[in-house]
Amino acid sequence: MKINVVSKILEANEKIARENKELFDKTGTYVLNLMSAPGAGKTSLLEKTITELNGALRIGVVEGDIQGTYDAEKINSLGVPVVQINTGGACHLDANMINEAINDLNLNEIDLLIIENVGNLVCPAEFNVGEHMKVMLLSITEGHDKPLKYPLMFQESSALLINKIDLKPYVDADTERIKQDSMSLNPSLKVFEISCKTGEGIKDWTGWLYGRIQENR
């Protein structure tokens, strides 16, 4: 019974996700769904990515949060269009929320739309929103056991960004094990080690992302 309800919700979500995707393809907007646990550094990554690519691409952002506009204000100060979704308790974004949010954006003028999902390693991976690519961020401080404990997000993502590697000397997490376990779940996963604090690895990530967007054109 409970499973029926869930599968109907996911089915309805898929339908709207496909409609979103068609619209994105029509306007030539490449869409990235950015997911992580709370506090892994999604907004800092957004800031770095926007600063790096803003000359080459016209970027827009959808911010997903339970409540508040804290992150959207940070992004807005970078001068890119941003829409805030407040889920009011829901622990993930769904296709319908995105469908409504993009009404407030001029997609014809956006080459890259980054959707910052709610901080959660579980449900965001279950709900497609019409994106071209899912990317996940894992803070090295979260430990090396995460791929095997939260496998779906690692399986669904095209890239894994291991963030806060400036803290490597001070934590026990084994980066090689994170890579190994992630790639055993998803052999085509592209892995980057980055630090949004020091900037390390950011250009590798944005260069790769830029290449993916060009390939899609």
Residues making contact with a second copy (CB under 8 A)? 2, 5, 9, 37-39, 65-68, 70, 89-91, 118-123, 126, 139, 141-143, 145-146, 148-152, 164, 166-167, 170-172, 197
Angle between the N-to-C axes of helices 42-53 and 202-216, in degrees from 0 to 180, rounded to the nearest 10: 70
DSSP secondary structure letters along 111-124: SEEEEE--S-SSGG
Question: By C-beta, is 132 or 146 nearer to a second copy?
Answer: 146
- Nearer to a second copy by Cβ, of 8 and 26: the residue is 8
Number of helices (H), then strands (E), belonging to the chain: the values are 8, 7
- Rounded Cα gap, residues 61 and 31, in angstroms: 10
CB of 154 to a second copy, least distance (A): 12
CA-CA distance, 23 to 162, in Å (whole number)?
Answer: 31
Q: How far apart are CA 51 and CA 64, in angstroms?
A: 20
Compute the distance between CA of residue 69 and CA of residue 182 in angstroms, rounded to an integer: 32
CB of 211 to a second copy, least distance (A): 30
For residues 67 and 216, which CB has a smaller minimum distance to a second copy in the complex? Answer: 67
Q: What are the DSSP calls for 143-194, one per residue?
A: -TTHHHHSHHHHHH-SEEEEE-GGGGGGS---HHHHHHHHHHH-TT-EEEE-
Minimum Å gap between C-beta 103 and a second copy is 20
Question: Of the two residues 29 and 117, which places its CB atom closer to a second copy in the complex?
Answer: 117
Buried b (16+ CB within 10 A) or exposed e, 150-180: bbebbebbbbbbbbbbeeeeebebeeeebbe
C-beta closer to a second copy: residue 162 or 213: 162
- Least CB distance to a second copy at residue 7 (A): 12
Considering beta carbons, is residue 112 or 125 the nearer one to a second copy? 125
Shortest approach of a second copy to residue 38 CB, angstroms?
4
CB of 59 to a second copy, least distance (A): 22
